[in-house]
Structure 1
Amino acid sequence: MLVRANNPGCAVMQRSNDAIFVTGADATYARTLYQLLRAVARKGWNRGMTWIAYDLGMRAEQREMLETQFDWVTFRTLDLAALPGHYVPAEGSYAWKPQIMWEVVEAADGPVIWMDSANLPHRAPDGMLAHIRAHGLYLLRGQAPLQERCDPKVLEALNVPRWTWGTRECVSGLVGVDAGNPEMREIMQRWCALAEQPEIMRPKESIERHMHDQAVLNALVADRVCKGEIVLPEEDVDISSGRPVRFLSTRNKVKPDAPLWQDPWIRARYRISKIVDQFLHRLDAFHLDHDPFWRMWGEKFVVMTRDGAGAPEELPCPFGHYYADPFPIEDNGETWVFVEDLNYWKDRATLAAIPLHGNRKAVPILDPGVHASFPFLFRYDGRLWMLPETCKNGRLDLYECTSFPDGWRLHRSILTGVNAADSVIFEHGGRWWLITSMESPFSGGAYRALAIFHTDDPIDGDWKAHPVNAKGREITARHGTGRNAGAVFEWQGKLIRPVQSSREYYGQGMELRAMTLTPEHFEEEVIETPPHLEMTRGEGVHHMAQLGTRIVWDRRTRH
């Protein structure tokens, strides 16, 4: 088929399954474009593929040199004079990129790939092209969440669901689409149409790192990516990642006046700096995942208990461990405290029960094979149930006690395919309620949103999602703020939810919120801490639970 350009005389033939690579530069990046095209020829990316380069304001001698050197490239000129002023590259909105992409995609029906001029190919692009043909869209992930790279005003204007705002952004230095896919064509067309709106591409009084064209593209696909309707590769861009994509390198900028003989040294400098950066990220990940001393140095909780007006006591913990997330329970007239038992040497936690009588030696109760915490307990139909946090396995599992304290049988998975943390179940208003904290998909755990479900049978019933889930409450808060900090309880006729309040670091503090809760409505507000819970006001208090006059809580002592 024929690929038609808006520029007369610039037509390129494309067979249905050929890939079209598109790039461009102004005078500032013409030298960078030269480096890219030389690398493309060296790595053979030009064989059997179509290349189009857009002139975004190059000097005449720059374009002449490029056309002479790379006769396999079709050069086009973007008529910036016919476009709004913010399209000019010097304005920094990057509105020209979606304009260019739609111009090419509109007339094509195979893979179309935008390549920033600062990219450099290293290996064959076969994997990328296969993904485009199979799934329609190829983007590399960065590390920052969408809401830190796209102004919230833009997210709201484009009706991006708040529960997706924590998903990791994708970069627009490499954008691959299947022009034969109607859904992908629609996305590119809308991206192009939105580029005409300066308040969307470059909003006034914006957040510090609003990423213009990249932000808008992410906003257009976030909902569908998070729902699984668009499948992106699980590959990171080669910046600030220990597991970057290997087939190309990004952001290899060259000064416009750099002599040609410097190319090998420029490439080597970028290559070495990225190798070092990637090694440091892998080293950091290794410390977090495998070095017990690293975690021991930075993370420590202690569990405290007090009965009525008695003196607080710290529950003893063996060396190399810490206890957290305490929940008290009574069995046969004796009180036990169920806790998360983190083992520094294994770098994960299991669950244990500590008797508040005798020698207070912890009894292991559950090891699900993944990190376990928050052993929430409740009674129903004369039996004891536990809803621990095991979010690494992608489920929220309900366990039945078969023999107290250490006999537990998996009854069912209440939720699947989710990362749910610090979940509680309680009865209120003739219904059973589940309140949890859901990770924004693909966020890496940094951002979570409040989620509520209800049912008439907490054991075997179907849990119905509350309308508040769509609002993505707490998604803009980091470090665990908004997560449950213990069991829901009633006080002075109010339904109270203990909530983590960690603005600067995880485990910084907690607060109490009074809830108004019906199947159609949810509101909550912070209340003054009751006098008998004054210990929860201090910094580092992360969790609190009650059983009659007995209160248990934990406090973070190292961070």
Structure 2
Amino acid sequence: MALRKDIWRTGILGAPVSRLLVENDWSDIPFRWLPAMPRAFQFRADPFGVWHEGQLHVFLEVYDYRNRIGEIELCVFDPDYRLVRKEIVLREAWHLSYPQVLEAEGAFWMLPEAHRSGTQTLYRATQFPDRWEPACEIDLGGEIAVDATLCRRDDLWWLIYTPMGAAKKAPSCLHVAFAGSLCGPWHRHPQNPVRIDPASARPGGTPVVIDGVLMLPVQDCSRTYGGGIRPLWFDSLTPTRVETRAGEVLPIPQRFAPYLEGMHTLSAAGDVTLFDVKETALSAHGLLIEGRRELGKLRRRLAPS
């Protein structure tokens, strides 16, 4: 039961990802925080955004260390980035996070991280943005993906992910799969793992094409989980060959204090970029929360059936 807890804070940067990649100092880029959580040891993280009917729809994980089951929340902002709506739009019996949302094939789709369910479920909006239903399971031949990220490239759908086994030990392996349509069939790349590196082998945001080259934000977990974000460039991405190269870790401005200890999501949303950054909270309260949670689990196991 760790005494120190990761606490994430989510915000909106007033610049596109392409600008952030070439500026070593983000101090002059306007930004705003998303709403703070109401209680200690709760956080919002993993933001993904889409514009629809003139409003920015941000989907993200909300998490409480008291129950350790993430849910997917929606925050809607008007063109002046004023919050006009906030609600939970997806919850399951298992933990949900990293809710990539995209519009394709005549619908809106969400692929949340849900490896504790034993599969990866792709959801479709029956009424955007607040009603979602399972559309299909992405079958990777028994392999479970962590932080799976979709993108469209050269008339194929690509899924870039870290396999669950690698994520539990150390997030050091990057895998790729491809398909003709979102619901498959999916084919694991023969070159997997396409990258082995704890500093650049776990997805961390929205894939974008810059100057004709696909770029995926990836997490640097070489020192700590979510220690930073760096760009990973795909110089080649075909069903037979993948070539990648990693850029430098992106800066975390001092004005984000006290959230200076890491970043693990960077998501493009038109002319703005969503991000999360963390601090670690050292508190006996955090240990008390863990103790109560473990005691509750023990009582449930011992309760008569």
Alignment of 1:388 with 2:120, yes or no, is no
Alignment of 1:411 with 2:135, yes or no, is yes
**Which residue pairs with 1:483 in the alignment?**
202
Q: Give how far 1:445 is off.
A: 4.6
Q: Give how far 1:472 is off.
A: 6.7
The CA distance in 1 between the partners of 2:168 and 2:251, in whole Å, is 34
The CA distance in 1 between the partners of 2:154 and 2:279, in whole Å, is 38
**Which residue pairs with 2:273 in the alignment?**
551
| 1:408-462, Cα deviation, whole Å (9 max, x unpaired) | 0001110364431111111112211111110228x84545521111111113x21
Q: 1:325 to 1:418 in 2, by over 3 A?
A: same
**Which residue pairs with 2:54 in the alignment?**
333
Q: 1:310 to 1:509 in 2, by over 3 A?
A: closer
| 1:48-104, Cα deviation, whole Å (9 max, x unpaired) | xxxxxxxxxxxxxxxxxxxxxxxxxxxxxxxxxxxxxxxxxxxxxxxxxxxxxxxxx
**Which residue pairs with 1:518 in the alignment?**
238
Alignment of 1:313 with 2:32, yes or no, is yes
Unaligned runs of 5+ in 1: 1-286, 289-293
| 2:158–2:177 contact (8 Å) kept in structure 1 | yes
Alignment of 1:368 with 2:92, yes or no, is yes
**Which residue pairs with 1:156 in the alignment?**
none
Q: Secondary structure at the match of 2:279?
A: strand
Alignment of 1:468 with 2:175, yes or no, is no
Q: How many residues align?
A: 257
| 1:439–1:449 contact (8 Å) kept in structure 2 | no
The CA distance in 1 between the partners of 2:87 and 2:126, in whole Å, is 15
Q: Secondary structure at the match of 2:201?
A: coil
The CA distance in 2 between the partners of 1:492 and 1:536, in whole Å, is 26
The CA distance in 2 between the partners of 1:344 and 1:528, in whole Å, is 32
| 2:107–2:125 contact (8 Å) kept in structure 1 | yes
Alignment of 1:493 with 2:218, yes or no, is no
| 2:72–2:99 contact (8 Å) kept in structure 1 | yes
Alignment of 1:322 with 2:65, yes or no, is no
Matches within 5 A, 1:2-401: 287=1, 294=3, 297-308=4-15, 311-320=30-39, 321-357=42-78, 358-401=82-125
**Which residue pairs with 2:286 in the alignment?**
none
Alignment of 1:429 with 2:136, yes or no, is no
Q: 1:392 to 1:424 in 2, by over 3 A?
A: same
| 1:182-230, Cα deviation, whole Å (9 max, x unpaired) | xxxxxxxxxxxxxxxxxxxxxxxxxxxxxxxxxxxxxxxxxxxxxxxxx
| 2:7–2:278 contact (8 Å) kept in structure 1 | yes
TM-score (ref. length: structure 2):
0.77
> Which letter maps to 2:8?
F
The CA distance in 1 between the partners of 2:186 and 2:61, in whole Å, is 26
Q: 1:468 to 1:526 in 2, by over 3 A?
A: same
> Which letter maps to 2:90?
L
| 2:37–2:44 contact (8 Å) kept in structure 1 | no
**Which residue pairs with 1:67 in the alignment?**
none
Q: 1:450 to 1:528 in 2, by over 3 A?
A: closer
The CA distance in 2 between the partners of 1:370 and 1:523, in whole Å, is 35
Q: Secondary structure at the match of 2:70?
A: strand
The CA distance in 2 between the partners of 1:508 and 1:330, in whole Å, is 29
| 2:99–2:110 contact (8 Å) kept in structure 1 | yes
> Which letter maps to 2:154?
G
Q: Give how far 1:552 is off.
A: 0.7
| 1:34-58, Cα deviation, whole Å (9 max, x unpaired) | xxxxxxxxxxxxxxxxxxxxxxxxx
Structure with greater Cα Rg = 1
Q: Give how far 1:481 is off.
A: 4.8
Q: 1:487 to 1:447 in 2, by over 3 A?
A: closer
> Which letter maps to 1:324?
A
**Which residue pairs with 2:247 in the alignment?**
527
The CA distance in 2 between the partners of 1:430 and 1:444, in whole Å, is 33
Unaligned runs of 5+ in 2: 16-27, 255-259, 282-305
The CA distance in 1 between the partners of 2:45 and 2:121, in whole Å, is 20
The CA distance in 1 between the partners of 2:116 and 2:170, in whole Å, is 14
> Which letter maps to 2:12?
T
| 2:108–2:125 contact (8 Å) kept in structure 1 | yes
| 1:509-537, Cα deviation, whole Å (9 max, x unpaired) | 111021021111011112368xxx76599
The CA distance in 1 between the partners of 2:91 and 2:274, in whole Å, is 23
CA RMSD of aligned residues (A): 2.5
Tell me which protein shows more helix as a share of its residues.
1
The CA distance in 1 between the partners of 2:33 and 2:162, in whole Å, is 28
TM-score (ref. length: structure 1):
0.43
> Which letter maps to 1:370?
W
The CA distance in 1 between the partners of 2:268 and 2:103, in whole Å, is 15
Task: Choose between structure 1 and 2 for higher RCO, CA contacts under 8 A separated by at least 6 residues.
Answer: 2
The CA distance in 2 between the partners of 1:485 and 1:398, in whole Å, is 18
Q: Give how far 1:404 is off.
A: 1.9
Q: Secondary structure at the match of 1:405?
A: coil
The CA distance in 1 between the partners of 2:253 and 2:232, in whole Å, is 13
Q: Secondary structure at the match of 2:240?
A: coil
